[in-house]
Each structure stands twice: as C-alpha cells, then as structure tokens.
Structure 1
C-alpha cells in the first residue's frame, strides 16, 4: 500500500527511503553527503516541503519543493521525482495531490518546476497534471579550469568585488542596477522580480548570512560617476565543494554593449580560482529568449547541457 508523508528528518527509515529515490537521479553523489545535505538550510527558500512515498517501507517517490521569500512568498518551486522502477503507476500524481494542500497551508498560491527537460516524459506528465509551460531555459555548465577568463572592463570602468555585504558607498547604485533585471525577456512565470532598494539588498545579504551562505558579488563601477552599472553574483553554500550555481548577472541599459557582463563574470571566475580551487564546475540557467547572455556564457566557456521548460500551475 502506498504511504505518503512529510519527511521527518528524525526518522532514519524515512530519510533512507527518500535518499534512495533522490539518488536515482544523482547516481554519482555520495550517499552520506546526500543525507547530511537535508539538514542544511537553503537561503533561497523560507521553507522546504519534502514528501516521501513508500510501499512496504521502500521509497518509490519524493517531492522537494521550496517556498520563496519576499515578493515571491506565494510561489513554491521544486520537483516531483518517481523511482524509475515505479513509473506510470500513479505515484507522481498521488504525490502531487498530497503536496498541494501542504503548500496551501503554508501560504503558497502557485507551484512551478524550473528544470523540466524539454520534450521529456516529465513535461508530458506536468502538462497532463494541470501545469502550463510558461518559459524555456537553457542550462549551461562551466568547467572552471577550462574557462576563458582574461576579459577585463572597458576603459572608463573598474571592477570591484566583495563577499557578504556591499560597500555602503555602492549600495544605492547596486540596488538600482539590480532593478534592471526587469528588462529581461518576459515570461508567464508566477515569479515576480523584487523592487530592489538599499534596504532590500541588506535584507537579502542578511538572509544569506543566516543560512550560512557566502554571497560573492563582482560589480563594474563607472569611473566618472562612481556608480555600479553591472553586477554578477554567486551564492556559495556550505555544501558547494566541487559544484555550485551562478546567481544573476545584470547590466544597466545605458551601459550595455560594452562587454561589462562578460567582464564581471570573468572576474568572478578569476576570484573563484584564487581562493576556492576545490570548485570544479558552475551551473547556470538562462531564459531561452536571452540569446545575448547565452552567447556571453559561451564566450566564457560555458557548454550547453540541455534545454528545459518552466511549468506552472495555480494552487
């Protein structure tokens, strides 16, 4: 008989069943690390909802869905995973039906999957389960040792970098630059870009610190004005030993076309090489309509892994 419950981290049998399913999609991952990572906070989410489905004690399916912060507190993002030996037996649908009330009870209003492989059985299942395809994304991976990171800022600009908290004299212009993300190609995702202010930047930094993450930022500063006009960030989590994920990259409209996006990303790679030599790879996801940033990544050495769709449904 199928039994679905919220994962109790104190229940060793449930944790073992959960990890059994998770490892089917991550076969090269160390099992002990996978278990330990369940205890680590994630600053991207205000709460993570994990369900485990078992038959006769064995794991057959799981969910891992996080509720976002701030302007996106209504949005839950994550995955439903079914053990390969139990596909097409209704496990995924049963997990989804159990997940929805858990998310509603926590204030969720929409659920999205951001990494569904385009054209896959997972996409077909999602569309048949009430989701809509609302955007496409290109997933790229950079092998740090192979990166072409010799690009520098154009004349009239300098690069500055920091970990944790932005310098006070750059705070206001950093917030203004981050608001330029609103110029990115529009999608139908329920995700809303926050209105960045100096106060919200400081709150974002504090959330990262509270979760034990080191937020690294590289900015391009216009020499004539002393203002930030481009920025990129990489949030390094405690478990990021060999692999990590790139954050956002933004250039203000008046300063585009001068190679600043490439310059700040190249400086970030140089920085990671300097004092995080154990890092081997960085993954990045870019909206499929943002051809310019995809080309910037390719120039740096990113290789496209696959294309995915963002699927979304109301709760």
Structure 2
C-alpha cells in the first residue's frame, strides 16, 4: 500500500457564528519535509492547524492526518502528531528538565526513561546548561527551543508549528530554523504557519497560500514566484517632472511607486532587450533616469498578488 499523505483536507469548512473562517479548503501534504501555510491574518491558518490537531471540530469536510480521520480516530491522530502553538506551553515555575520529564512521564515512560528522554532533548536543543533553571528565567529564544523540545517528547511523525518564531530576534530565529531543518532530515513531517515570508522561502519545500478560507495557490517557492511574482524594473528619476511624465506614460503598467523618492517599478521579463526597450520608452533622451535595478520576484510579490484581492483557487493546484 502507498504511504498516506501527512495531511489530507477535502472541502474543509468552519465558521464561528456568522464569520466563515474556512470555506471549502482542500489541501494534500505528502509525508516528509517542511511544508508552510501562508496567508493574511484571518485566512484560517491557525484554525486549520487546530482542526488537524483535534482541538477544534470542523463543520464539514474530510480531514485525515497520516491516514487517520481526525473525528473518528482522534486517539490515533494524537499519538501520531505534536503541536507547538504560538505561545510556549510550559510551566514557568518548573525547570527545563522538570518540564520535559513531566511530559515524558505523561506519555507513559518510566521515571528513568523519562529523565533520559529529557536529557537527550535538552542536549539536542542546546539547553543542557540551562536544564536546572526555572523556565521563567529563560530568554524568548530558549523558551521556544524548549517548547519545540517538549513537542518531540513523544517522537511524533507529524509536527505542527504555529508561528514558531514569532517575537524572536534574528539570531534565535536562525537557530530555530536549523532545528526545524534537522527535524525534517530526521524524517519528521513539519507543517508550519508563519508570517515571515523569508522563513517559508528558506525552509519549506512546498508552500500553500490561504486566502478567504480557501487555497489560493500551492507549489514550491520557485514555482510560485514564476507564476505570480513578475520580475520588476525599478527606476529612480532625477527630478519630479520627469518622474510624473514617466508615470503617466506607463499608466497601469506601474506596479509600485514612491513619488516622494521619485521611484517607480514596472514588470519585465528580465531580458536585456526588454529592459533596454523599457528604458528607451520612459527615458528616450537618457537624461531622466539616474538609477535602475532589475529585481527578481520574491515571496512578498507572490503574497501580495494572491491576497490583495479576492482570489479564486488556482486551477493548476492538484485536487482543487
């Protein structure tokens, strides 16, 4: 039998009162690797994770994790997964070692086995030196590392990370990124939600963009950039008059502008002939443009394209 997907959602729906949060979301996440859910606030990311973790019941639709139905097989799902939410679920008055040992005991391990498991995780997440300190003395980065360690006490095959690096400084975020990569290389399937597009670009093999409670697009970062994030030619003018003339000439082809800095951008395919043609069109006497840059598409461009207006699910997405 082929291996079931880590996550399979079909026509998932959820409302809170009159507010529709998930409106027919369908998504398939294969086993292995890091997968990201992106979307603006209110897109349904956290609600989706809570449903997958059996913490919230869907109103309709089919939801399976590692082949198990989240409603009919809740216990099997819970034995398969782990969840690290937006806020560290730790006891501040216990030490790091005590937190992990307690959780290991709750999974059914004996006292010696629980202490051994806690020690292994503390070493893995570079927390051995702080193992005997109360968690309330930990920095934000240390707390998030301990929370991630706690989510691995039961050796899950699928782990959900909901905004795992929110509030962390750059060094702490990069450290956590390395640990998430290690989890994936060890065979754990990681599904993370994040507001940091750089995080998704760096970590995720596949990215799903949610908008309005539905799947707007799905694919690798490179694929999404190719389909939704056009390259742009960014131009800076010497004077305001020249800038105004160029902006009027380009009209609705302008995809970004900053009048105060006399800057505007227009889509391009990045080729030398097209860039040269655009420069000749907007600055025929070659005295107005003082600087130009061809910028590659980013996930920011993809995100803004897919979420700036009502977006229908991408017909190229399998299963939608």
TM-score by length of 2: 0.29
Q: 1 or 2, which has the higher helix percentage?
A: 2
Between the two structures, name the one with larger relative contact order (CA 8 Å, sep ≥ 6).
1
Q: 1 or 2, which has the higher strand percentage?
A: 1
TM-score by length of 1: 0.29
